[in-house]
Chains A and B, each alone.
Chain A
């Protein structure tokens, strides 16, 4: 026993971990997605930085950016980025409301979780429609 280890009194409570959680309960699923989309948005921010750098480098660099952005795979990444953004925004608002004490009842938290999962997809589709109609793609 090292000098820093306190004498054993009783087993200390453990914080919940993967083996304890039901990972696909709506509350833990939304929590995991919040972290995953957060990490994805950091990577997605690189696209915005690339856009700015392409502009500052001039028309040739910008046309290379456009080629990447208009490529089907680029489009897939961009719309994934968009969904991650909407998800994080909606669930972030849910967290901010929780901080004020609103919506903490399990029943309410499950309902708002489902609304956010469906809502983030719907808003992404609406944004996609608006982008397509604005750019004349449809």
Chain B
């Protein structure tokens, strides 16, 4: 075995340090699960309300407008949109980490973050605008 170079004289622990977190390693996974759990009732509520209250009433402009303007619709809808895009951000991040490597990885992650948070902001703004300005 050749002599180790200066940087290689390290214990296993010394080598592992700084290579990853020992404190928040499960944080991403945990948020994925919590947002998934929250999305079960939120999405099911939206689907059934969309079918029985919007589509069944014709699905026209006025029906959709009046549906969103009800506070008991706009409030859970805004929460659904935020949690949905947060969950999408967490999930997409995993896909990017698996398939995009090298110099492109971090820019892709940042662009995807902008995309998800931008859509969350845009959709919540639309709900607020419809509720208060229309």
Contacts and interface: CB of A to CB of B under 8 A. Distances in A.
Contact of B5 (A3, A62, A127, A135): A3
What is the size category of the interface that chain A forms with chain B?
35 or more
What is the size category of the interface that chain B forms with chain A?
35 or more
Contacts of B58: 135
Contacts of B55: 131, 134-135
Interface string A16-49: 0000000000000000000100110110011011
Interface in B54-82: 55-56, 58-61, 64-65, 68, 81
Contacts of B47: 85, 127
A4 B56 contact: no
A66 B116 CA distance: 25
B127 A52 contact: yes
A6 interface: yes
Given A56-B126, A56-B130, A134-B52, A62 B88 contact: no
Contact of A62 (B7, B40, B61, B123): B61
A38 B15 CA distance: 36
B123 A52 contact: yes
A121 interface: no
Interface in B64-107: 64-65, 68, 81, 84-85, 88, 91-92, 95
Contacts of B123: 48-49, 52
Contacts of A131: 51, 55
A55 B119 contact: no
Contacts of A104: none
B64 A49 contact: no
B129 interface: yes
B4 A7 contact: yes
A11 interface: no
